[in-house]
DNA sequence: TCTCGATGTATCGGCCCGATACATCGCTAC
DNA sequence: GTAGCGATGTATCGGGCCGATACATCGAGA
């Protein structure tokens, strides 16, 4: 899962580990607070061994905060890496629908085609519906066996499930009708930006409608 | 974390592994779907080595489903195990407040005293408030940098945070006023039960109210 | 009879985490 | 000026937990 996220971020721009961790934290803030270095560096090593990324010593192209010449290592994605990213993004294993897996896939939805988005959204909905049914069963059948706190926990969990299902339905509806994820229409006004570069997919040039919100 | 859950369940009645897994699944259904055997058995081994539980061959006291004489192993908690359980339950490390840790502690709240419950509830609230602030920051400051899907994910996460904070506030209020977790007052009618005993204290033999369901 | 699904115990490779160790940079305080 | 401090930065280690896998028994229906 982390592999996918790293590849996705490096696709936008090369980075060194520390930066990667921060970007990961803001992009996946909902999923995991912050990735551990004990995970990050071994994963980067794996990725490098597999040929999906390359390391290079610090080049002096970074202007903003740093001009140091210390041992900073900049990671860069390769062509194989981009291909790998597209594969991981589109393929759907069972782990695609658990909390972490779904979150990562969703976070990179702007790099996917609509069919894939719908498939993942619906798979996730199915998964949550199953969890919801399990909780309902427990609450109706096993209620007498459990204490008040445990029941309260289940009730809260059930509530969260129902809410997530509704959220997914909204997203699915929007997706089908070709709109962007206008969904919950929060208090925030999205400041446009991000022409969302089209065409990612190693070999497929399509990258459909995506009305999104292009500026003139 | 799993250690705590196992000890907690074995405190109610001895069990074998398979049964333990199922109980774990219904008690912690919100937290984790089902514990893996690749986790369960090694943990049981650890617990046994540490002297917190004992193994014994299948005794013929189990009536309901099985009368087999195969290699079923029944696990039973020891006095040290009960002490350990009380310690784990009351102590508050940082991992007490993450999703899994909090869930397990909450599921065993009926075995804790009110002061501990309040401490944990408030610690959890603090944790979630921090996550919430982080998401708000991202949504207001980094919004332009992120695509619509990522933003939608953050919005949904923020929503979940706000909801959980409100839930926790309710629980804290109830706890302070001495009521049971009547909290969210869902569609379900809570079958009363559980006056929520006070005082747990490591070695006390009391084993409070716990109506449970003993057969004749 | 025979296969199938539930029950049951157990191990292995691998991902990921928290703790820890180091080293440098820019800032403020003394 | 220099001493400390917090942010930046790279890296390893032990351990928890997961999914896949293997194996064995039992009751019930084809």
To the nearest whole number, what is the mean pLDDT of chain B? 81
- Residue for token pair 């790293």: A6
d(CA B123, CA B98): 10
d(CA B200, CA B113): 6
Strand C: which nucleotides have any atom within 7 A of a protein Cβ? 7-13, 15-21, 24-26
| Three-class DSSP category at B55 | strand
- Where is pLDDT greater, at B18 or B72? B18
A74 touches A9 (CB < 8 A): no
What are the φ and ψ backbone dihedral angles of B53, each rounded to 5 degrees? -140, 165
d(CA A55, CA A41): 12
**Domain ranges in chain A?**
2-59+72-99, 122-176
B37 CB less than 7 Å from any atom of strand C? yes
- Section A117-131 average pLDDT: 94
**DSSP letter at B16?**
E
d(CA A179, CA A194): 16
Question: Are B145 and A193 a contacting pair at CB < 8 A?
Answer: yes
pLDDT tens for each residue of B152-199: 999 999 999 999 999 999 999 999 987 777 644 444 444 444 444 444
Q: Which helix (H) or strand (E) holds B99?
A: helix B99-107
Inter-helix orientation angle B2-12/B17-27, to 10°: 110
- Chain A: residue nearest B112 by CA? A149
- Residue for token pair 């607070």: A33
Look at the alpha carbons of B164, B166, B169, B170 in this order and tell me if their dihedral is positive or negative: negative
To the nearest whole number, what is the mean pLDDT of chain A? 81
Q: What is the pLDDT of residue A59?
A: 53
Question: And the tokens for A202?
Answer: 């190693």
Q: What is the pLDDT of residue A3?
A: 94
Question: And the tokens for A95?
Answer: 């782990």
Tell me which residue of B211, B200, B214 sits closest to B8, measured CA to CA.
Answer: B200
How far CA A165 is from CA of A118, A162, A172, B156, in Å, comes to 14, 5, 10, 12
Residue B84: CB atoms within 10 A of its CB come to 21
Instruction: Name the residue closest to C19, CA to C1'.
Output: A38
A106 near B CB under 8 A: yes
Alpha-carbon distance A149 to nearest alpha carbon in chain B (angstroms): 6
d(CA A137, CA A159): 14
Q: What is the pLDDT of residue B105?
A: 96
d(CA A186, CA A188): 5
- Section A193-201 average pLDDT: 43
In the predicted model, is pLDDT for residue A31 greater than 70?
yes
What CATH number was assigned to the domain covering residues B2-58+74-99?
Answer: 1.10.10.10
Q: In A190-201, which positions are buried (b, 16+ CB within 10 angstroms) versus exposed (e)?
A: beeebebeeebb
| Three-class DSSP category at A15 | strand
Q: Which helix (H) or strand (E) holds A74?
A: strand A73-77
pLDDT tens for each residue of A153-177: 999 999 999 999 999 999 999 999 8
What CATH number was assigned to the domain covering residues A2-59+72-99?
Answer: 1.10.10.10
How far CA B26 is from CA of A137, A141, B33, B59, in Å, comes to 10, 11, 9, 25
Residues of B in contact with A140 (CB under 8 A): 188
Residues of B in contact with A151 (CB under 8 A): 188, 190
In the predicted model, is pLDDT for residue B73 greater than 70?
yes
Residues of A in contact with B24 (CB under 8 A): none
- Section B67-80 average pLDDT: 77
What is the band of A216 on the pLDDT scale with cuts at 50, 70, 90? very low
Question: Are B188 and A148 a contacting pair at CB < 8 A?
Answer: no
Give residues 131 to 190 of A whose Cβ lies within 8 Å of B.
131, 134-135, 138-140, 142-160, 163, 167, 171, 180-181, 183-184, 186, 188, 190
Query: Which nucleotide shows the minimum CA-to-C1' distance to residue A70?
Result: C24
pLDDT tens for each residue of A87-123: 999 988 888 999 999 999 999 999 999 999 999 999 9
d(CA B48, CA B31): 25
pLDDT tens for each residue of B75-104: 999 999 999 999 999 988 888 999 999 999
A121 touches A105 (CB < 8 A): no
- Section A35-61 average pLDDT: 87
Mention every residue, 6+ apart, whose C-beta is less than 8 A from residue B38: none
Strand D: which nucleotides have any atom within 7 A of a protein Cβ? 8-14, 16-22, 25-27
Q: Nearest Cβ partner of A143 from B146, B167, B191?
A: B191
Residues of B in contact with A186 (CB under 8 A): 139, 155, 158-159
- Residue for token pair 């009110």: B114
Gap from B37 CA to D23 C1', Å: 14
- Residue for token pair 């912050």: A34
pTM higher than 0.75: yes
In the predicted model, is pLDDT for residue A187 greater than 60?
no
What are the φ and ψ backbone dihedral angles of B21, each rounded to 5 degrees? -60, -40
What is the band of A207 on the pLDDT scale with cuts at 50, 70, 90? very low
A38 CB less than 7 Å from any atom of strand D? yes
């Amino acid at each position: 899962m982390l592999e996918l996220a790293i590849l996705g971020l490096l696709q936008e721009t090369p980075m060194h580990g520390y930066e990667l961790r921060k970007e990961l934290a803001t992009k996946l803030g909902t999923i995991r607070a912050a990735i551990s270095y004990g995970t990050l560096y071994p994963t980067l090593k794996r990725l490098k061994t597999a040929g999906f990324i390359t390391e290079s010593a610090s080049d002096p192209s970074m202007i903003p905060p740093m001009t140091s010449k210390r041992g900073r290592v900049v990671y860069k994605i390769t062509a194989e890496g981009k291909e790998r990213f597209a594969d991981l993004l589109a393929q759907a294993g069972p782990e695609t629908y658990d909390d972490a897996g779904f979150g990562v896939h969703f976070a990179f939805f702007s790099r996917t085609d609509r069919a894939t988005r719908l498939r993942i959204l619906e798979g996730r909905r199915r998964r949550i519906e199953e969890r919801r049914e399990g909780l309902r069963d427990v609450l109706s059948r096993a209620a007498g066996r459990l204490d008040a706190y445990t029941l309260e926990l289940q009730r809260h969990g059930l509530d969260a499930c129902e809410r997530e299902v509704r959220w997914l339905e909204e997203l699915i509806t929007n997706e089908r009708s070709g709109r962007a994820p206008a969904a919950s229409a929060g208090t925030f006004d999205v400041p446009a930006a991000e022409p969302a570069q089209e065409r990612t997919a190693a070999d497929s040039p399509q990258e459909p409608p995506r009305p999104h919100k292009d500026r003139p």
